[in-house]
Every structure is written in C-alpha cells, then in structure tokens.
A and B are shown apart, each in its own frame.
Chain A
Amino acid sequence: MSGRRISDRGRIDRSRSISFRFDGKSYSGYVGDTLASALLANGVALFGRSFKYHRPRGVLTAGIDEPNALVTVIRNGKREANVPATQLEIHDGLVTESQNRFPSLAFDVGAVNQLAGSIFSAGFYYKTFMGPVVGPLRGTRFWMFCEWFIRRAAGLGRADHAADTSRYQRMNAYCDVLVVGSGPAGLAAARAAADAGKNVILAELDPVPGGSAKWSGETIDGKPAAEWASGEAEALSDHDNVRLLTRTHVWGYYDGNTLAALERVGDHVASAAAGAPRHRHWVIRAGTVVLATGAFERPIVFPGNDRPGVMLASAAQRYAAEFGVLPGKRIALFTNNDSAYVAAAELSAAGAEIAAIVDTRQVISAGARDLAAKAGGELLLGQAISATNGGKALAGITVQRLDPVTGTASGAKQTIPVDCLAMSGGWSPAIHLASQAGAAPKWNEDLQAFLPPEPAQPWLGAGAFAGDTTTADTLRSGRNAGMKAAGGRASRAQAAKLDAPQLDPFPAPVFEIRSAEGKSGKALVDHQLDVTAEDVRLAHREGFLSVEHLKRYTTLGMATDQGKTSNVPGLAIMANARGISIPEAGTTRFRPPFAPVSLGSLAAERFGDVSPDRLTPMHDWHVERGAEMMPAGLWHRPRIYSLPGETLEQAYVREAKTVREGVGMVDVSTLGKIAVKGPDAAEFLDRVYTNKFSTLAVGKARYGLMLREDGLVLDDGTTWRLGENDFLMTTTTAAAGKVMQHLECLLDVHWPDLKVALTSVSDQWAGAAVSGPDARKVLERAVKGTAVDNETLPFMGIVYGEVDGAQVMICRLSFSGELAYEVYCGAGHGTHVWEALLAAGEPFGILSYGMEALGTLRIEKGHVTGAEIDGRVTARDLYLDWMLSKKKPFVGSAMMDREGLVDEDRIRLVGVISLDGLPLGGGAHIVEGDSRAEPNESIGHMTAFCYSPVLAKYIGLALVKGGKARHGQRAFIADPLRKRYGPVEIVSHHFFDPEGSRIHG
C-alpha cells in the first residue's frame, strides 16, 4: 500500500482483504472498496485514456457520473466494457483492464493525436476526407479508406463476439410510493410513507444506503450522519411494507408512472448463486414517486483541468470519509462556493495536508472562513488556477488573480506543488428522471443550476434534487414528500436535529477560467470526449448556437456519463459567447437511461429465449421420426422426413408421390381454428366472407375467402357448419391471429348488435390430413362409429366417429387435390390418433409428409397460400372472382373495384413450367427476354416452385403482369442472386387435374 489508506474512516471492512487485478497487475483492497478507491489506495493515479486525444486520465468523481476512469471487466473470459471504476465493487478474482490505449496505458501511441489538437477541432471531419471527385478514389472510397483508421482509433472498450453466458431477469413491481435515492431526503421520505402504512420501494444505486450521509461528516440527531443513515435503513427494512433495493439505479421514467430500474445482483460477488440473475430489470408501477436523487457536483473548466489527480471536491471527501483513502497527500482546493470548505476540513481531519484553498470569490462566508482555518493551508481569495503541471499525475498548480468580469486569470503566478486538486464548480440537481417524465427544467439564478420542471406525472421532489442546500432542509422536504405521497399533509416541524456549520449555499457564477496568456493547456468541458472550451467557442463561431447543435457538432455531453459533469459548464460557455443568459441558451431534455444499462437486462428472460416455441400435439413424434423441422411463425413444423442420404428434393418428391399414388398424412394442427357461435353466426360469416355461408347445410364445410376493408385479400380457409348456430372457421397458420383480431374488431366495434361469440380453439384440436387415392381405405380401417363412404361422407361433408377409442371429427377436404380427409381429435389424443391412422394405413404404404411435399401438392393444384396472398393481391389477381358474391355486401366489397385494383397492368396468378429442366427458385423474377447479359424489366415474380412428380417437370406459381393473357407464352426467369436464368412457359396455375375429378374419387 502507498500509505494513502487511513486507519479509522469509511465503511470498508479492514478485516477482509481482497485481491484483484488491473492491467495484469495484482492489487489488494478491502470489502466495501470500489475499484477506484482501491486503486487510489494503492497509489494509482492513471486510470485511462481520453477518447480523441488519448490524454492520460485519472478519476474525476466517486460515483455514477464518472467520465474518465472506465475499465473493462473480464469475468469467465467475457468482457464488459466501459464500467466506471467508481461503480465497480471489488471482489476476489476481479480482473479489470484499462481502455482505449495501445500498447499500454502508460505509453499510448494514440496520444500523438494531441500534437494535432488544433486540426482535430470540433467538427473537423465534416470539412475533409471527401477525397477526389474523379478517379479510383471517387465517390465514397477515399472517405471509407480514412474511416477505417478513424473507427479503430475511436471507441472505448472492446466487446466480445462470443455469447454472453449470464442470465438476466425481469421483475414486475407495484407500490404506492417509490422513493428514488436513499440519502437523507430519501430515507426521510421512505420513513414517512412507510409509517403511513403505504407500500414503499426505496431504490439506492450504491451498495449501501445513506447517500451523502455516508461521507458528509455531519451530525444528525446527535449521531454521525453515516450511523444515523444506517439506523434509519435498518428500521425501514424491519417494515413489512418496505422493499429496499440497493445496487439499483432507477434509469427510466415512462408514462403511467412506470419506472425502470436496474439491480446489479451478481456483479459484486465472485460467483452468482444458482439461478440468480446477473442483473434484474425492475419495472415499477408506482402510485407516487419521490425523487430524492441528490445533486452532482460540477467541475470548473480551466487549463489543464483533466490531469490525473484533479477531481471533484466531493469525490475527494468521499474517498476519505467513505472509503478511508486519501486521494492525495498534499491537496489543494479550487472552488466557487462554500461546499468545498467542508471537503477541505474533512480531508484535513482525515490526515491530508491542505496546501491551499483557491476561491474565485473575493468574499466568503464566516462559516467557510472557519472551515478554512480548520483545514489549514493558504486561503487564496479572488484567485483562480490557470494551469496545472505534472506528467501523467498532478505535480502542481499555477494560481493567478481572477478578473471576475472576464473570467480571465492574469498577473503574478504562484505555483503550488500538490498531488491532488479538489475542485467544486457548484452543484447540479440530478433532475434526469424528472426531465424524462415531462417538461423543460427551470434555471435558478441563486443556485446557478437547473431545477426540476413542474411534474407532468405524479412525482414529488425532495432534498438536493429539489434545490435544498442544507441537510436540515433536505430532511424536512424528504419527510414532507413522503407524507404527501402517502396522501397526508406536509409538516413544518424540524425533521431531525442537525449540527452543521452556517454556510453560503450559493455559488459564484463562475464556470470557466481563461488564462490571459492564451495557450496554457486544454480546458476540458467534456472530459471523456475531449471537448474543450475552445471547441464550444468554435461551434459558436460557425453558427452552431442551439444547445442541440452544440452537442451534435462538438459531441459535448454524448459520452458514457451523458454530460452529468459537462452539460452546465458547456452551456455556460456558449451563453457567454453569445452574450446571453444560460436559460436563454437553452437546456437539453434528458432521455432514458439515466445511467447505462446492460442490453441483456432489458431482454431479461427473453435473452436466450427470444420467442416461445409453439408445438403441435404430434411434435415429439415428428422429432423422434427424424423430421427436419422448420419455423412457421412461432410454430415448428416438419419440413421433410428424409431417409438416409436423401436430398431435400428427393425426400419431398418421394413424399408427394406417395400421396398421389397411395396415401400420405400430414399434421395440420397449426391451422387457425375459431369457434363462431351464436344465433347471428351465419349472418356474421356472410358479412366477413366474400361468399355466402348462411346457405351452408349443417354437417358441411365450405371454402371461404376474406378481404380486408380496403378490398385486398386477407385470408382463405374452410369453415364448417357443425350446428345451426355453430361454425368452426379455419384460417391459414400464419394469419390466424390477424383474422381473429379482424373479426373481433368488426363484432365488438362495428356490429355489437350481432349475437356472435368468437373463441380461438386452434389448440383444442389436433388435425391430421389423410390424402391420396387410398385415403378412404385407411379411414375405413381406422374409424369406428361412422361410415366414410361417398354417400355418408361426400366431398365437404363432416362425420363424427372414433379412432382407437378417441373421438374424432372428420371433414372431407382436399388441399392436395386428392381424395382427402381432415381428421380432427382432441389435442391430448393427437399422437394416439395419429399413430392409429398410420397403423391403419400401413397395408397401403402410408407415409407422413412434411411442408415441402404439402407445398408441391398444392402448387400442382394451383392452390394459393401466404406466398401468393401477400397483402398486395386482389381476389381477381388470384382468379378467385367466382368467390365474390354479387348478392350481398361483404367486408371489402365496396373498395375492391377501385381503379388501381382492377388495372390491366396488375400482376396476376399464373403457372410456370421450366423449359430447360432445371429448378426455378422461389424469389426469381419473370422477364420477357433472356436477361443473362442485360437486365430486363421484371414483369412479375415466382411465388413458389417445386419439382412436380406427376408432371416430371420443375413447375411453379408466379404473379405476372397480364396473368391469363400470357398463358402459352414463353418467358424467362431471372434470378441474378443465384445466377439462374432460363426459359419458361407461362401456363394455367391449375397444373394437375383441373376438373378436380380425383378429389371426388
């Protein structure tokens, strides 16, 4: 250790030592340390390199606002980039690396960029790299050449390509009161709301509740603040109605008082418990929210303000008081307000030498003077720091007199050797969540800060968030917010006894110090992205005046800390350049997330499981029989059941042939099935189908076509009349959900007077389609309790019976063009009936077939599916005009005859036969001339193709301009992507048995 560790302060557990690694070197720290505090304790000052200039950087803050000290954590061989060292709790086995440096942190070749600082000014890349207008580097080529290098120089940490193996979970929560932040205000609010009996969630981003009480050094109710806070937190956790979430940052404030928070469950332990997530994504719906998120201290912009060793005063104080680490041995403070004096006194008490307190103000409060005296060191009023010196660590500061009007430091220089500079430029309330939830924040001239806007959703503010400047005020406003959130009234009484010095709560309006000599080093505004005060002024010169333009042109505030430390100083410099006030210069709206969140946490349980598998009752049977499964929406369906050594084509041709020549069976359980019941069911179907259903006899099925309101085809399918007022509608697998919603909307919104009830019964039934010339023979063997002869079960007829003890409903339907039956049974009997049917079909050589054979059979018949019903076709395009009833209006009937929908030039359904004996390719286009050499205009496209076993040719369906008029013509297919060109003949889409004699067999 470097002697930076103090023996008596902080919440670290000095009895439990932890060993961890940073950049390959082993260090030790204590339980309770962050990586930042542990490395500081080890005397490490250099944490990383900046984005653009690769300048050496230390740690600026002690919290979630850290822009500089970002590291990569390597866990189980997986990298997590850009983790603030200030947020990272060390644990045994922790491995970390610094970022954005090559070959090493101490020697980084990228730092050469600093030499060209003036060229790499804000927005320089817009002005160059365009390259030559003509020649080999014309167009975008020169830029892309340069960009290759730029991309490699940019970026921070490196991400893996190997899959993350962590798990993430979501938690839905409901509460009366959500308190965000567990500092004094949050604790008081939670206590008040809990005492009123409300369900309370208290969220704290740190591992330990207490907020500033953990390090303020104040006394509350006669106890050290840290002790008071832990007592309060303990009391709260005894309440049944309070849930305390630590390591949880609330990052999003969405509509309906829905807030999102990230709990880091497993990052601080060496190995997670079984089943525990790494991160838990909390979605909290709160009655009322109390925002007690505190405030962020602001840096001051001055030359050399980014040298490692320069940090926020509160951070320095916090390292000493909360972690027992002195950030330096000889410390100077630089401030425009009184809060830094508290830090000075605390640092001094912790054992640091205070070299000087440099204050931009000429006059300070008596309380501050007392603290300065306590702290020791020179008190330099009306002065400012105009330069820092040292290499990769601070060695000293240069102090000069400050002209308060121009903000320029000039005159005699005093150089003070220090190894740490603690600065304070005032405080900015953490209004991010409030800003997400509503309007623009309001500028407060006294505090020189933006205060939260008027609430647009039910939230209350408390503490420093709301502009409170003393802990007494904070406790009072916290308690009052808690009481109000609980539905009670605020009280004016003192919330707790405080023992704190009287200080001036308001900072001087000083944001930037300019050196009279011009070049004394870069004055950083956005530390991570290297945006300097000069960059802001350049943006001003070039007319990028709006705060949004400033942000976009210079990248100010776009870093991983999202401008927590840089927004207000940047805005102040722009306002100054424009000669207007800060609120006139504007403010940006904050967007979620308040602080970065892992993508995995938001995917939660869907990580690794993005969508549920939807399985038919016979799924396991298919898989056990070696079916190659394919996704169809969420469903898994058998594609082919191939024999060893078979190609896809050989398999489906064999399967299809079996159906045409004998009998086959396919799982059709995925079809959408909707029970349409009620006295007005027939009337309803007449309205939604283009054809009539009220004339359908009970015990019969009919093919139906549905249009959308705009007159285009929505879906097709058969609907079965099971009873006078009882219909079973089937839809295509893909459109099931869409059709259901379409029907429900019509019924609920437009025709509420119809007595019709709809219920999805897709899952109630298992369906097996038995097709082929021998299909009836199979049923004759399998089905008991009913005859299946042509008389009893004619085409489109329905009968009920039993298969091996299970009840079945059989409809004689055909998608394949063969004699075919759909056998439906209760889904729980699906496999039982399926196997019984196969057994019955064994003498006839029955085979199960998959989607490819199903497709082949339907292409041969010219039946349409989703490939043709693509949302752009009309019934006429598909030559289904015959289904458009002229006797009744139906959904779409009034819109289907519009000029654009009856245009001669529309693409319409045809059949296509390959003339060169080669496969056609779904996705190929149809062109008029051979387009191998010269592209031809497409006159349409293929929708499906197959090798037809009955025609012994490659055939397909296509949508082609002119449609029927082209029957008999030759054309070409063009599939440049697969380099397939060839002659085809355009024919009727009814390739096989156009009279339908086989289905009636």
Chain B
Amino acid sequence: MVERESPLGQAYKPGRHGNVAEAAGVTLSETRPGSIVEVIAWPGNEKTALAAIKSATGLALPDRPGAGVSREGRAGYGFAPRRWLVIDDREGAARELHKAVAETTGVINDLSHGRAVIRIAGPRAEWVLSKLFAVDFSTGAFPVSNGCSTSHHEIFAQIQRTGKNQFDVVVFRSFARAFWTTLCHSAEEVGYEVS
C-alpha cells in the first residue's frame, strides 16, 4: 500500500505556537482518515440511502438536514439535500458503500484523496473558527455530531462538531495548505498546539 502524502507539506509544524502566555487555546491536527465518501440519494430514496449507509458502516444517520453521528474512528452527516458525507479511519469504505447503495437508490463518490480533514479542538475552538466562518458555532445552534456546508471565501468547507470543543473541517485537498495556514494564523491569538 502506498502511503498518502499530506497536502500540508512544510506548513505542518508540530509544536506550540502563537500566544504562549497562557495554555494553548486550541490544538490543530490533520486527521488523515482512510476514507471520505459522499453518498447521494435519488429523490424519494433518502431512507433507503440512509439504510445503506447504516448497513455498510453501522452509522445510523438521522434524516434531518445537517444531522449526523460521530463515533471513534467513524462519522457521518448530511451536508446537502439528499447528500451525506461518511468519514472512516479505515480505507475501503467507498467500496463497501458502493456495494450497499443500489443504482436505483443513488450513487457514491470516493473523495478520500480529494479532501483533507483538519481538526480543531480546545476551549477556544469556537472563537477561532468564528474568525473564518459565518456560522453560529454555539452548541445550541450547532450541536455535537451535526455538520454543515459553508465556505471561507474561496474555500468550501464541510464542518462537523465531533465533540463539545472539537470540530473536523473538511476542505478540498488543493486548498488544504492555504486553509491550514490561515487557521494557524487565526489561532495565534489564543495560542495553539500542532499535534
């Protein structure tokens, strides 16, 4: 198996950065999951598609806009009408989903190489993300496991809250380094750790 290269390159600098006066406000990392798969249902086939996702991955995604599930090593959420994103630490989820989603139900797209997942965790995660995205990140408006599609200027992003103070941001691979750099820049104020 050939190892996948990170798109972050030299921009990924482990260690403590920015404001070091207090404890790091956030920790930044690239999660590098094995699989990122988009599942699309034909109109009227949402339930069937969700059932297929469940059978292939075990993720029981609720049929509500933006609703999702976040488990250790596996997560999924709706990000657009009739569309869901499934992220799995293991490789091969695309194959399984392809098998599970019948042609009459919908289609899947393997985006495992095409997207990068950047994780921001820590007490100031909402504050830092709010610098870049016009989305209400408060827990009331954005509960744990929910996801959304949004953008930071030219950079399209899908964001899932994977913990009270943790978000996974999915961006296009070609923009990943630029986004990472901007995110680091924005996190300097609160101090950040790259792990």
Contact = CB atoms under 8 A, between A and B. Distances in A.
A–B touching in complex (CB under 8 Å)? yes
B14 interface: no
B111 A609 contact: no
Interface stretch (A753-761, A773-781, A899-907): A753-761
Contact of A677 (B107, B153, B178): B107
Given A171-B130, A612-B155, A829-B4, A761 B112 contact: no
Given A755-B42, A762-B172, A805-B2, 17 more contacts: A169-B131, A172-B130, A199-B138, A275-B188, A614-B178, A615-B177, A620-B10, A761-B109, A763-B174, A764-B109, A765-B113, A805-B1, A826-B112, A827-B113, A828-B4, A830-B5, A831-B5
Interface stretch (B17-25, B55-63, B66-74): B17-25
A829 B186 CA distance: 30
Contacts of B132: 170, 605
Given A617-B7, A677-B107, A763-B173, A275 B191 contact: yes
B75 interface: no
Interface residues of A, number: 54
Nearest to B19: A274
Given A277-B189, A762-B114, A612 B178 contact: yes
A856 B138 CA distance: 54
Interface in B151-195: 153-155, 172-175, 177-179, 181-182, 185-191
Contact of B110 (A273, A277, A764): A764
B24 to A, nearest CB: 12
A762 B172 CA distance: 9
Interface in A745-759: 755, 757, 759
B5 A617 contact: yes
A804 interface: yes
A274 B173 contact: no
Nearest to B109: A759
B120 to A, nearest CB: 15
A679 B135 CA distance: 36
A283 B134 contact: yes
A612 B191 contact: no
B5 A829 contact: yes
B182 A605 contact: yes
A232 to B, nearest CB: 25
Q: Which label, helix, strand, loop or mixed, suits the secondary structure of the A interface?
A: mixed
Interface in A257-301: 273-277, 283, 285
Select the residue from A725, A755, A828 with max chain B CB neighbours within 10 A: A828
Interface of A: 169-174, 199, 273-277, 283, 285, 605-606, 609, 611-617, 619-620, 634-635, 675, 677-679, 725-726, 755, 757, 759-766, 804-806, 826-832
B40 interface: yes
Given A274-B18, A612-B175, A757-B40, A172 B113 contact: no
B153 A765 contact: no
B9 interface: yes
Contacts of B2: 804-806, 829, 832
Nearest to A636: B174
B134 to A, nearest CB: 5
Nearest to A828: B4
Interface residues of B, number: 53
Contacts of A612: 153-155, 175, 178-179, 182
B38 interface: yes
A605 B138 CA distance: 22
A762 B185 contact: no
Contacts of A609: 181-182, 185
Interface string B107-125: 1011111110000000000
A605 B179 CA distance: 12
B155 A275 contact: no
A275 B18 contact: yes
Nearest to B113: A826
Nearest to A669: B174
A766 B115 CA distance: 13
Contacts of B1: 805
A760 B83 CA distance: 14
Contact of A605 (B4, B21, B113, B131): B131
Given A827-B114, A831-B5, A679 B103 contact: yes
A170 B5 contact: no
B35 to A, nearest CB: 12
A639 B179 CA distance: 25
Contact of B174 (A172, A275, A615, A829): A615
Find the residue from B2, B106, B136, B138 having the highest chain A CB count within 10 A.
B2
A172 B175 contact: no
Given A172-B130, A273-B21, A613 B177 contact: yes
A169 B190 CA distance: 13
A360 B64 CA distance: 69
B21 A274 contact: yes
Contacts of A759: 38, 40, 109, 111
Contacts of A606: 153
A354 to B, nearest CB: 49
Contacts of B113: 763-766, 826-829
B86 to A, nearest CB: 14
22 contacts: A174-B141, A199-B138, A275-B19, A275-B185, A275-B189, A283-B134, A285-B136, A605-B132, A612-B153, A617-B5, A620-B10, A635-B174, A675-B109, A761-B109, A761-B114, A763-B173, A805-B2, A828-B5, A828-B112, A828-B173, A829-B5, A832-B5
Nearest to A604: B131
Nearest to B186: A605
A170 B129 CA distance: 11
